[in-house]
Amino acid sequence: MSAPAPVDEARPEERHAERPAPAAILRVGLQRYAILIVFAIMVAVFGVDLPGTFLSVGNLSNILGSQAVLFILVMAVLLPTVVGDFVDLSLGSSLGLSSMTLAVLNVQHGTPVLLACLAGIGAAMVVGLVNVFFVVFFDSDPFIVTLGTMTVVQGVIYIVSGSNSVGIVSTGLSNWIFTNEFLSIPLEFYYGLAIFLVVWYVLSFTPTGQRALVIGQSREVARLSGIRVNRQRAFAYIIGAAIAGVAGIAYAGTNGTVDPTAGSSLILPAYAAVFLGATAIKPGRINPLGALIAVYFLAAGTAGLELLGAQTYFQQIFYGVALVASITIPKVTRDRFLKRKRSA
């Protein structure tokens, strides 16, 4: 007799319990929007300190435009990370390989620029395929495998470029990526935005995205729920590499000449943005919207610091501090909360 009775008894309490206490809402909300709040404060401070420059159209366009390559790379990094392969270090090299392929074909061999772009993206996808081969099919540790492929690809870049910068790529490409503007912002920003919208839609609004999340959080559960774990992981690697290839095209278009080290300096900031983004909007989960906010939070912060006269290397310090702070602060608050709540 005991079992059905509690159903009814518990009902009123259940309804009540479904609504969290105001304090909890505040806490979750604070965590969820912490970056946005800090972002707003930062913009306000810079805006007051640098009224004529920080809030100018030129600076806004600079912030949005200059980080477009990083922004696209962040979307690339996001994909393998969501399915639980926490590092694909080779994505930076894929970016470099893509832009170098484009530059070498276009500049040294006179290949039409569109074809060269496709070749660049293709080259990046080959790197993704190699990763899939080792990480997914042989089930090797992604950190070590991609460390290896990163190094190999970097070597390949030096070989094809003869260790020199290659330029100048077709101005047509530069026009369509960097020089032409829409609402005073270079077109590449909109390319990034388009990629973001697709990634965001797939990850947040389709069962595919939800499955990717399950794979990332608990691979064994995903497998035993009939999800094609390896196929999704493989797609994440290959599409991620393709997006990194697109980032490489954007890099070439932005800079005109391609340096053999292109990309290697971008991969860590990209991860910084992804992990920083995972503390926002949906705390604890890698999510595209959070990453978008994080990229431009970091970009705005460094732009403001530069306008205030800080040297460029402060950018790195700012990134590092923001990353460590972002991962620590929610932990401190959450652990306190849990300690109070944890019961028998």
Partner 1 sequence: MSSPDSETPGSSDKRIGLQEPPASGEQAAPPAVEVRGISKDFGSNRALDQVDLHIGHGEVLGLLGQNGSGKSTLVKVLAGVYDPEPGGRLFVGGEEVALPLVPGQASQIGLSFVYQNLALAPGLSVLENLTLGQRIGGGLSSWKAINWMAERRRAAVVLDRYDVKLDLDRRTGELAPVDQARLAIVRAAEDLRRYRTRSGYKHSVLVLDEPTVFLPEEEVDRLFDLIRTVVAEGAAVLFISHDLAAVRAITDRVVVLRDGRVVGEEVTADIREEELVSLIVGAPTRAGQSAPDGGAPVEDQQAVALTLAAMQSAGGADAVAAGENVAVEHLTDEWLRDLSFEIGAGEILGVAGLIGSGAEELPYLLFGARPAGSGALRLGAETMDVGGLSPQRCVRERIALVPADRAVQGLSQSLTLWENIVMLVEDEHYRGGIFHRGELVDLAREAIDRFLIRPPRARNAMSTFSGGNQQKALLAKWLLARPRLLLLHEPTQGVDVGARRDIYRFVKSAAALHHMAVLWVTTEFGELAEVCDRVIVITQGRHTATLDGEELTEEAISAAALRQTREDR
Kindly list the residues in this chain that would bind partner 1 in the complex (CB under 8 A).
1-4, 6-7, 10, 14, 17-18, 20, 205-207, 210-211, 213-214, 217-218, 220-228, 284, 340-344
Q: In the complex, what is the shortest distance from the CB of residue 207 to partner 1, in angstroms, rounded to a whole number?
A: 4
Q: In the complex, what is the shortest distance from the CB of residue 311 to partner 1, in angstroms, rounded to a whole number?
A: 40
For residues 311 and 239, give the distance between their C-alpha atoms in angstroms, rounded to a whole number.
36
For residues 331 and 34, give the distance between their C-alpha atoms in angstroms, rounded to a whole number.
13
On the CB side of 50, CA atoms within 13 Å amount to 17
Report CA-CA distances (Å) from 259 to 51, 93, 154, 250, 265: 36, 12, 12, 13, 11
Comparing CB distances to partner 1, the nearer of 55 and 202 is 202
Q: Is 50 helix (H, G, I), strand (E, B) or coil?
A: coil
For residues 146 and 134, give the distance between their C-alpha atoms in angstroms, rounded to a whole number.
9
Q: In the complex, what is the shortest distance from the CB of residue 81 to partner 1, in angstroms, rounded to a whole number?
A: 15
Comparing CB distances to partner 1, the nearer of 58 and 207 is 207
Comparing CB distances to partner 1, the nearer of 28 and 268 is 28
Q: In the complex, what is the shortest distance from the CB of residue 201 to partner 1, in angstroms, rounded to a whole number?
A: 8
Q: In the complex, what is the shortest distance from the CB of residue 330 to partner 1, in angstroms, rounded to a whole number?
A: 14
Comparing CB distances to partner 1, the nearer of 7 and 332 is 7
Comparing CB distances to partner 1, the nearer of 51 and 137 is 137
Q: In the complex, what is the shortest distance from the CB of residue 145 to partner 1, in angstroms, rounded to a whole number?
A: 21
For residues 281 and 200, give the distance between their C-alpha atoms in angstroms, rounded to a whole number.
13
For residues 261 and 248, give the distance between their C-alpha atoms in angstroms, rounded to a whole number.
12
Peptide bond connecting 168 to the previous residue in cis, omega within 30 degrees of 0: yes
For residues 148 and 262, give the distance between their C-alpha atoms in angstroms, rounded to a whole number.
18
Q: In the complex, what is the shortest distance from the CB of residue 280 to partner 1, in angstroms, rounded to a whole number?
A: 17
Give the burial string for 234-245 (b: 16+ CB within 10 Å, else e): bbbbbbbbbbbb
Q: In the complex, what is the shortest distance from the CB of residue 191 to partner 1, in angstroms, rounded to a whole number?
A: 22
Going through the chain in order, the beta strands assigned E by DSSP cover 181-182, 185-186
For residues 170 and 106, give the distance between their C-alpha atoms in angstroms, rounded to a whole number.
7
Comparing CB distances to partner 1, the nearer of 110 and 207 is 207
Comparing CB distances to partner 1, the nearer of 227 and 294 is 227
Comparing CB distances to partner 1, the nearer of 189 and 196 is 196
